[in-house]
Every structure is written in structure tokens, then in C-alpha cells.
Amino acid sequence: MGRNGRDKIRKIIATMQDRNVKEQYDELLKNVQTNLRVRSYISAFFIPGFALIKWLFDLPIHWAIFPILGILFALSAIYYLLFLRWKVFKTLFTLSIASTLITIADLLILGSLLYVIGGFTFGAILALPLYIIYAYLVYPFRWQSYTVLAAVLLFFSATSFLEYFGTIPSFNITGVSVEANRNPSFFAVNILSTLGLLFFIGYYSRIFSDKLREKSAALLIERDRLDAVFENLPEGVVVFDEIRRFVYVNSVAANLLGYPFIAVSGKLFSDIAPREEAKTVFHLLSQWFERAWRGDAQEVAIGSRAPRTFRARGLEIKDPYRKTRVLSVIIFTDISRDTIINKMKSEFISLVAHQLRTPLSAMKWNLNFMLEGEYGSISDVQRGALEKELQQTERMIRIVNEVLDVVRIEEGSYEYHFVAQPLASVIHDVVVSFTGSAKRKGITLSVQWPPQPLPEARIDPERIRMVFENLIENAIAYTDSGGSVSLLVTSRDGMVEVVVQDTGIGIAADDMSRLFTKFFRAKNAILKETEGHGLGLFLSKSIVEAHGGTITVSSNLGKGSSFVVTIPVA
């Protein structure tokens, strides 16, 4: 996939996640508004109802009901200002915490209200169903529902037991005998409570059904939008949920899988039998589920007669709260054309390099003959000029050889001749060869060896020598007079580690990601040393990785760099 395509996919996913958070915030704010509306309904329903029963049947309602209702009204006004008018809570997290706390505060107030009406046991019968419905329908997050329900159960169970054992006084509107059922006030309270409970159940059921309709409509619109976007992408897109179930497959990916989306929709990945031509795709997807590729792109050839090369990239969409993967998006990009172009480019570079090497070698031999006096005697001035020309010719030959090495690495034809031998001898020879150039520049070149002899490593001595020649040559070239280049050699955990550290110009943070790519040179390196072609570190990294090792770098701009090479022991 091109960079624009990847950016488009990431932008779509980021927008979905941001929109999800905004929708949850808006939904919760709307639920707070619903909560305030319910307060009004509670007051409008129960205050006149109980006042009428008290007037008709002389119902013994405690006087404290009126200041409690006053507090309920005052808090409603405060909540309205904080949540809806001033919108003090700007983020989803703060709004979630605040809305949960006000619900628990409401619980205490409503419990007190019900207690003075008919006792906590009576209040539990009335309030528990309301709060169970409220907790599950209003809150978008499970932790909020569980918190409210736990507080409700704890409050009413504790107070009911305290009332039962006489720790707090019991309020009874009427007696509890059979004759009490015929008491008009007892009958009126039951009717009023039942009607109130049915009203609120119906009210919340309507809210719930409205939300379901809104969510269904929003999901359909969102699905159509995403279908339109993904279907018109030139890349293949496959989406799985957290249990590896197919969520979406566009037409390009359907051709790669050998199944249309309708055939795999809603099915588990493990339940789909891969067809012969799509086995490589299914194998790649199974690898994603096992280790998620660690963010790396994977290339795969698909097809037998005229195979096409695809680059697959995986994106994870995580739940912002549980931090678990909820969706996997796999994107397949056809890079067949790029592969052919790169192959043609490599062949062209190889051809040109081979053609250059022959005349350059002839020039080198002729210059050597002149310096040796084969064509007659030469003056000191002529000798100096010829020696400079010979150095430049050898430099050109070295560049051509490195270009050919790069082509061979890309083609997979770069040859290695591995032997088991200590790495110390190679490092020692390279350091000795650079001692003179370091001294001429006024740079201290040193090696710190481990106390015990190094174990043997399975290496190609010639190739490994090139790695340390590159690193030490760069360190000397980019370090000023009076600086130092040091090598620290250690052996541990089955690896030989060599740290090449200098006090040179360092590497900018922006350049670190491209440091080991072909033909790249940092800006400050170009200013410091105009000669160079940017192939040394690319070759070094390829050689070290072919040995099963690693090469990493850390640097402070203006203070120096540290390259760490690890090679496994034999």
C-alpha cells in the first residue's frame, strides 16, 4: 500500500475511535439530562399523591419528607448548572465519575425519602427495581452499572437489617395483618407505589427502545459509509473482531481469499477451509493472530500461473478502556509492479557497475605501471599527481564493488563462507589497520578486551571485517582531532557484543530511522565529510543479520555515537 493509502486507513480508524469517545460523552451527558427529568417526574408524581392520601385517609407521613424533597430540588438545580449549563466536566472520564457519584448521592436521598414514607423495607421493595433498570439502561459503561447496583444493594440491605433488628426506628404506614389489606390508606399506598413503579418501568423502556432505534440507524449509516470507503480502495481489506470472526472483506480481499464476503461474514477464521490458491493468504493471517507481526509488513506471492506479490500490513484497534484488541485490520497492497521495477533497476545497476569495473581496473593497473617506472621515469610532482589519481580510482572501484554487493544482497545471491573462529583476531587486525590514520588525525583509538578469551563464532571473516572497517572508518571520519574512538568487546548470553563508540558529531534524531537504508547520509555527515555514498551501514546491517546478529545505534547530536554489534557464538 502506498503511503497515502496507509494514512487514509489510519485516519479512518482514528476518526472512528475519536467519534466513539465523543458519542459516549454525548450519550452520558444526555443520560444526566434524563436523570434530572426523572427527578421532576418523581416530585410531580409522589408529592401530590402522598399529600392526597394523607388528606383523605390521615396517612401518618413524617414531616421530614418536605425538607428532603427540598434538598432534591436544590441538588437538581446544582446538577443542571454543573452538567448542562456550565459543562464543568469536559472529558468522558470526569463526566463518568461525576455522574456515578450523583447517582449514589441520589440513592441516599431517595432512600431517606422512602424511609420516612414507610421504612427501609418498604423503600427497598419500591426502589430496587427502579435502580436496577436505571443502572443498566442509562450508563454506557459496565463499571458504572456495577458500582451503582453494588451501592444500592449495600445501602438497602444494610438499612433494612438495621431496621429489622431495631437499631434504627421502624416506620410503618399501617399494620401488616390481613385486616390491614382492607385499610383504605394501605390500599392507596400500594396502588400509588405500583402505578409509580409501572410508570417508571414504562418510561425507561421507552428510552431504551429509542436508544436501540438510534443506535441501529447510526450503525447502518456508518456501515454504509465504511463499505463505500473500503470498497473503493485499491487495496484488499480484511477486518476481524476479537474472537477472530470475519467482520468485513472488500472485493479485492475477497479475490485473494477465494471467498466473497457473504460466504465468510460472521464466521470464525478457523471455520473457513482455505482453497489451494489462497493457502498462503490464510497462513499469513494465522501468523497475524499468533504474533501480530510485531508491526512489520509481510510480503507474500499469490497465484501459481502468474503470481502477484502483495505486501500485507496489520493494524490493531484497541478498546480505550480495557486496552485489549477488539478489531484486526489486515491490508493487502499489490506491489507486483514495484517488484518488477526494482528488479529491473537492480539489473541495470548491476550491468552498469560491471561495465565500470573493467575500465577502472585497467586505469588502476596503468597508474601502478607509471608509478613503478614501466613507462619511463617520472618527476616527484608527477608521482604525487599519479598517487592521488590512484587513490581516487581505488575509491571508485570500492564504490562499484559495494554497489554490486548491494545488488547481490537484494537478489539473495550474496555469498558467505562461514567458519568457526574467534572474533578477536578479526577485530584486532581491523584496529591495527586504522591505528595510523587515527594517529595522523589526532584521535585516540583503543580496544577494551574481556578478561576471558572470546569464544568462537560462526562467521565469514572477510564480510565481518567489512562491518568493523565501516564502523571504525566512519567513527574516525566524523570525530574531530583530540577525540576518541573506543571498542568495548564482551561476551555474554551466547553472544559476542562489540560496542564502537566515538566522540564525534553524532546523529540527529530525525535521521536515526533512515540510517541503515541505501544511499542515505545524514545532513551533518555530508557537511563534515563530502565524500561518501551511504552504502556502508546498509551493507553492515545486512551482513550482521545474515550472521544471526543485530546492529543498533544510539547517539547524541554533537556528543558522539555508539554502534552495538552482536554476533552469536558458534
Tens-of-pLDDT digits for all 570 residues of the chain?
455 555 555 554 454 445 567 777 887 888 788 777 777 777 677 767 777 877 777 766 677 777 887 787 788 888 888 888 888 988 888 888 888 888 888 777 877 777 777 666 665 566 666 666 667 666 767 788 788 878 877 887 888 788 778 788 776 654 444 455 556 766 676 677 667 666 766 676 677 667 767 777 777 787 777 778 778 888 899 999 889 999 889 988 999 898 988 888 889 999 999 988 888 889 888 888 877 655 567 888 877 667 888 888 888 888 766 677 888 889 998 888 777 777 776 666 666 666 777 787 888 888 888 888 888 888 888 888 888 888 788 777 777 777 777 777 776 667 888 898 888 999 999 999 999 989 999 999 999 999 888 888 889 998 899 899 989 988 998 898 999 999 999 998 889 999 999 998 998 888 888 888 877 878 777 777 656 677 788 888 988 998 989 999 998 888 899 999 999 987
- The grid coordinates listed for 381 are 610532482
Task: Return all residues near 25 (Cβ < 8 A) that are at least 6 apart.
Answer: 91, 92, 95
Q: Where are the alpha helices (DSSP H) in 251-295?
A: 251-257, 261-264, 279-291
So what's the pLDDT on residue 488?
93
Please give the angle made by the CA atoms of 88, 90 and 95, to the nearest 5 degrees.
Answer: 85
Supply the DSSP symbol for 80: I
What are the cell numbers at 534?
A: 551511504
Of 209, 211, 212, 202, the C-alpha closest to 38 is 202
What's the pLDDT score for residue 4?
58
Q: Which three cell numbers stand for residue 46?
A: 409522589
Please give the share of the chain, as a percent, with pLDDT higher than 90. 13
Q: Could you state, in order of their start, the residue ranges of all structural domains in the chain?
A: 3-224, 233-334, 339-411, 419-568
pLDDT computed for residue 498 by the predictor: 92
Q: Which helix (H) or strand (E) holds 357?
A: helix 336-371
User: Letter for the amino acid at 401?
Assistant: N
pLDDT at 354: 65
pLDDT value for 119: 67
Give tens-digit pLDDT for 79-115.
888 888 888 988 888 888 888 888 888 777 877 777 7
Pick the CATH number of 233-334 from 3.40.50.1370, 3.40.50.10210, 3.30.450.20, 3.90.1150.10: 3.30.450.20
* Nearest by Cα to 344 from 281, 424, 407: 407
Query: Could you tell me whether strands 560-568 and 495-502 are parallel, antiparallel, or unpaired per DSSP bridges?
Result: antiparallel
Spatial distance between the Cα atoms of 222 and 112, rounded to a whole number of angstroms: 46
Q: State residue 193's pLDDT score.
A: 67
Residue-wise DSSP of 113-176: HHHHHH-HHHHHHHHHHHHHHHHHHH-SSHHHHHHHHHHHHHHHHHHHHHHHTTSS----SS--
Cell numbers at 547, concatenated: 550472521
Q: What is the pLDDT of residue 347?
A: 67
The helix (run of H) or strand (run of E) holding residue 366 is: helix 336-371
- CATH superfamily membership of 419-568: Histidine kinase-like ATPase, C-terminal domain (3.30.565.10)
CA distance 167 to 158: 11
